[in-house]
Amino acid sequence: MKIKTFFAATVLFGGLVAGLFAPPAARAAGREVPPDALRCLALAVYFEAGSEPQTGKVAVAHVVLNRAQHAGFPGGVCGVVQQGGEQRPCQFGWYCDGRSDQPTSSRMWQSAQEVAREVLAGRVDDPTGGALYFAQARATRPAWTKRLTQMARIGGHVFYR
């Protein structure tokens, strides 16, 4: 075997092995983002954190993804966002409040779509430390969070696991 061929094969094999042991976000970075998942995640970001700073939007997006990958929640981004259906109780109040889920601010909608695209593609790290829940930051901690561990406080939300 010639040296160049051997070197090329070694580099290719090393790249494949490195890809197997890379973090999930790095492995996902090259994958195509499904349009339905993008829309569901962007809507969640828009309605839950549309006026938040970028990190707050990213944090909300990661909670949805963390749930989608957790056995205790429905599979897939849309399954998580739509859990509980359009009647209360549901997981996300904006989804079951009976009002339109059409974004009205084009600037906030574009930002939410970009965050969703980047997070789904694995190009943004999870600032929540694997949180599965979030609540609005208030002076009093909501009762349902008492059994959970606080992971982070980002923007107007507190994130729990």
pLDDT tens for 45-103 read 999 999 999 999 999 999 999 999 999 998 899 999 988 666 677 788 788 777 888 99
- Residue 123, CB-side half-sphere exposure with 13 Å CA sphere: 11
Domain check: are 81 and 22 in the same one? no
Domain check: are 55 and 17 in the same one? no
Phi/psi-derived region of residue 128, left when phi > 0, alpha when psi is between -120 and 50, beta in every other case: alpha
Average pLDDT over residues 153-160: 94
The three-point CA angle 62-68-103 to 5° equals 60
Give the other-Cβ count within 10 Å of 108's Cβ. 18
- Per DSSP, the three-state class of 83 is coil
| pTM score | 0.76
Domain check: are 44 and 24 in the same one? no
Number of independent structural domains in the chain: 2
Domain check: are 152 and 79 in the same one? yes
Domain check: are 82 and 94 in the same one? yes
Domain check: are 62 and 6 in the same one? no
C-alpha 81, offset from chain centre: 11
> What confidence tier does 28 reach under pLDDT thresholds 50, 70, 90?
very low
Domain check: are 22 and 76 in the same one? no
Domain check: are 92 and 17 in the same one? no
Dihedral pair phi/psi, residue 30, rounded to 5°: -95, 0
Q: What is the pLDDT of residue 37?
A: 93
111 lies in which domain range? 33-160
Instruction: Find all residues with CB under 8 Å of 113, minimum gap 6, and list them.
Output: 38, 42
Domain check: are 61 and 74 in the same one? yes
Domain check: are 104 and 26 in the same one? no
Amino acid identity of residue 160, one-letter, is: Y
Domain check: are 105 and 133 in the same one? yes
> What confidence tier does 31 reach under pLDDT thresholds 50, 70, 90?
low
In residues, how long is the chain?
161
- Domain with residue 132: its CATH number is 1.10.10.2520
Percent of the chain with pLDDT over 90: 58
Give the other-Cβ count within 10 Å of 7's Cβ. 11
Whether the pLDDT of residue 43 is over 60: the answer is: yes
Average pLDDT for the chain: 81
Whether the pLDDT of residue 3 is over 50: the answer is: no
